[in-house]
A and B are shown apart, each in its own frame.
Chain A
Amino acid sequence: MNILLCCASGMSTSLLVSRMEQAAQEKGVKAKIWAVSADEVNNHLKDADVLLVGPQIRYKLPQLKKAADQQGIPVDVINPADYGRVDGKKVLEFALNLI
Chain B
Amino acid sequence: MSKHREPIKTSLNRKESILRKLKELGTNREISAGELADLLKLDRANVSRLLNQLWREGKVSKRTGRPVLFTAAGGEHPLPGRATLDRLLGRDGSLKNVVHQGRAALLYPPHGMHILLLGETGVGKSMLAECLHRYAIEVKKLADDAPFVIFNCADYTNNPQLLLGQLFGVHQGAFTGAREQKGMVEKAHGGILFLDEVHRLPAEGQEMLFTLIDKGIFRRLGESETERNAQVLLIAATTEDPDSGLLRTFKRRIPMVIRIPPLRERSVEERYQLVLHFFKEEAIRLGKEIRVSPNTIRALLHYPCLNNIGQLKTDIQLTCAKVYADFVSAKKERIQIHSSDLPTDAKEGLLLSKGSQKTVDLHDSLYLFHPRQAEILFAVAPEDPSPSIYKKIEKRYSELKSRGLQEEELHSLMAIDIENYFTQYFKRMNRKLGKGNLAKMVHPDMIQLTEEIVRYAEAKLNTKLSKKVMQGLALHIQTSIQRIENGKTIINPQLNHVRRMYKEEFGVALDCIKTIEEKTGVDIPIDEAGFLTMFFVLDDIDAEETEENVHILVISHGNGGATAMAEVTRELLGTESPVAIDMPLHMDPREIYELTKSHLKKHASQKGVLLMVDMGSLMAFGEMLEGELGVPIETIPMVSTPHVLEATRKSILGYSLEQLVEDIKQLTLFESNPPLKNGGNKENMRAIVTVCSSGHGDPCAIQKVLTKNLRFDPAGLEIIPLEIADRKELERKLLHLKQSRPIVCIVSDFSLRMDLWQFHPDEVISLNAIERIQHLIDTEEAYDKMADTLQHHLLHADPSQVVPDVKTCFEKLQQRLKISVPTKDLIGVVLHACCMVDRLLAGDSSVIFKNKEKYIRSHPSLYTTTRNVLSTLENAYRIQLSDDEICYMMSFFDSSKRTTP
Q: Which residue numbers of A lie inside 8 Å of B, CB to CB?
A: 7-9, 11-12, 15, 39, 54-59, 79-86
Q: When the two chains form their complex, are residues A84 and B835 in contact, meaning their CB atoms are under 8 A apart?
A: no
Give CA–CA (A8, B785) in the complex, Å. 22
Given contacts A56-B832, A86-B789, 11 further A-B contacts (CB under 8 A): A9-B847, A11-B835, A12-B835, A39-B850, A56-B826, A56-B828, A56-B892, A58-B825, A80-B824, A82-B782, A84-B831
Asked, given contacts A39-B850, A81-B775, A84-B783, whether A56 binds B898 with beta carbons under 8 Å apart, the answer is no
State how many angstroms separate the Cβ of A26 from the closest Cβ of chain B: 17
Return chain A residues, CB-CB under 8 Å to B786: 84
Give CA–CA (A39, B849) in the complex, Å. 8
Q: When the two chains form their complex, are residues B831 and A12 in contact, meaning their CB atoms are under 8 A apart?
A: yes
State how many angstroms separate the Cβ of B817 from the closest Cβ of chain A: 15
Q: When the two chains form their complex, are residues B888 and A80 in contact, meaning their CB atoms are under 8 A apart?
A: no
State how many angstroms separate the Cβ of A32 from the closest Cβ of chain B: 21
Check if B899 is an interface residue, CB within 8 A of chain A. Answer: yes
Check if B829 is an interface residue, CB within 8 A of chain A. Answer: yes
Return chain A residues, CB-CB under 8 Å to B891: 8, 57
6 contacting pairs across A/B (C-beta < 8 A): A7-B828, A8-B888, A11-B836, A12-B835, A81-B781, A84-B779
Q: When the two chains form their complex, are residues B823 and A80 in contact, meaning their CB atoms are under 8 A apart?
A: yes
Residue of A nearest to B894 (CB): A59
Most buried by B among A15, A39, A81, A82: A81
Most buried by A among B831, B884, B891, B894: B831
Give CA–CA (A9, B847) in the complex, Å. 7
Contact of A8 among B824, B827, B830, B892 (CB under 8 A): B892
Check if B87 is an interface residue, CB within 8 A of chain A. Answer: no
State how many angstroms separate the Cβ of B495 from the closest Cβ of chain A: 55
Q: Which secondary structure characterizes the binding site on chain B?
A: helix
Give CA–CA (A81, B826) in the complex, Å. 11
Check if B708 is an interface residue, CB within 8 A of chain A. Answer: no
Q: Which residue numbers of B lie inside 8 Å of A, CB to CB?
A: 775, 778-779, 781-783, 785-786, 789-790, 793, 823-832, 834-836, 839, 847, 849-850, 884, 888, 891-892, 894, 897-899
Return chain B residues, CB-CB under 8 Å to A80: 779, 782, 823-825, 827-828
Return chain A residues, CB-CB under 8 Å to B775: 79, 81
Q: When the two chains form their complex, are residues A81 and B779 in contact, meaning their CB atoms are under 8 A apart?
A: yes
Q: When the two chains form their complex, are residues A7 and B782 in contact, meaning their CB atoms are under 8 A apart?
A: no
Give CA–CA (A48, B823) in the complex, Å. 29
Q: When the two chains form their complex, are residues B778 and A81 in contact, meaning their CB atoms are under 8 A apart?
A: yes
Q: When the two chains form their complex, are residues B793 and A86 in contact, meaning their CB atoms are under 8 A apart?
A: yes
State how many angstroms separate the Cβ of A82 from the closest Cβ of chain B: 8
Give CA–CA (A55, B834) in the complex, Å. 15
Residue of A nearest to B782 (CB): A84
State how many angstroms separate the Cβ of A36 from the closest Cβ of chain B: 12
Q: When the two chains form their complex, are residues A9 and B779 in contact, meaning their CB atoms are under 8 A apart?
A: no
Asked, given contacts A57-B891, A80-B825, A81-B778, whether A12 binds B785 with beta carbons under 8 Å apart, the answer is no
Give CA–CA (A79, B782) in the complex, Å. 11
Q: When the two chains form their complex, are residues A59 and B828 in contact, meaning their CB atoms are under 8 A apart?
A: no
Asked, given contacts A39-B850, A80-B825, A86-B789, whether A12 binds B832 with beta carbons under 8 Å apart, the answer is yes
State how many angstroms separate the Cβ of A22 from the closest Cβ of chain B: 12
State how many angstroms separate the Cβ of A51 from the closest Cβ of chain B: 15
Asked, given contacts A8-B888, A8-B892, whether A57 binds B778 with beta carbons under 8 Å apart, the answer is no
Give CA–CA (A12, B888) in the complex, Å. 12
Give CA–CA (A39, B897) in the complex, Å. 16
Give CA–CA (A55, B786) in the complex, Å. 15
Asked, given contacts A12-B835, A80-B779, whether A55 binds B892 with beta carbons under 8 Å apart, the answer is no
Contact of A83 among B831, B897, B898 (CB under 8 A): B831
Asked, given contacts A8-B892, A59-B897, A59-B898, whether A83 binds B825 with beta carbons under 8 Å apart, the answer is no
Return chain B residues, CB-CB under 8 Å to A54: 828, 832
Return chain B residues, CB-CB under 8 Å to A55: 824-825, 827-828
Q: When the two chains form their complex, are residues B825 and A56 in contact, meaning their CB atoms are under 8 A apart?
A: yes
- List 3 tightest A-B contacts by C-beta distance, closest first: A56-B828, A84-B782, A80-B824
Give CA–CA (A59, B789) in the complex, Å. 25
Q: When the two chains form their complex, are residues A56 and B829 in contact, meaning their CB atoms are under 8 A apart?
A: yes
Q: When the two chains form their complex, are residues B832 and A8 in contact, meaning their CB atoms are under 8 A apart?
A: yes
Q: When the two chains form their complex, are residues A81 and B782 in contact, meaning their CB atoms are under 8 A apart?
A: yes
Give CA–CA (A25, B849) in the complex, Å. 33
Residue of A nearest to B898 (CB): A59
Contact of A15 among B830, B835, B899 (CB under 8 A): B835
Asked, given contacts A39-B850, A56-B832, A57-B891, whether A15 binds B827 with beta carbons under 8 Å apart, the answer is no
Give CA–CA (A7, B834) in the complex, Å. 14
Return chain B residues, CB-CB under 8 Å to A81: 775, 778-779, 781-782, 824, 827
Give CA–CA (A10, B649) in the complex, Å. 31
Most buried by B among A9, A12, A56: A56
Give CA–CA (A19, B354) in the complex, Å. 36
Return chain B residues, CB-CB under 8 Å to A84: 779, 782-783, 785-786, 789, 827-828, 830-831
State how many angstroms separate the Cβ of B122 from the closest Cβ of chain A: 36
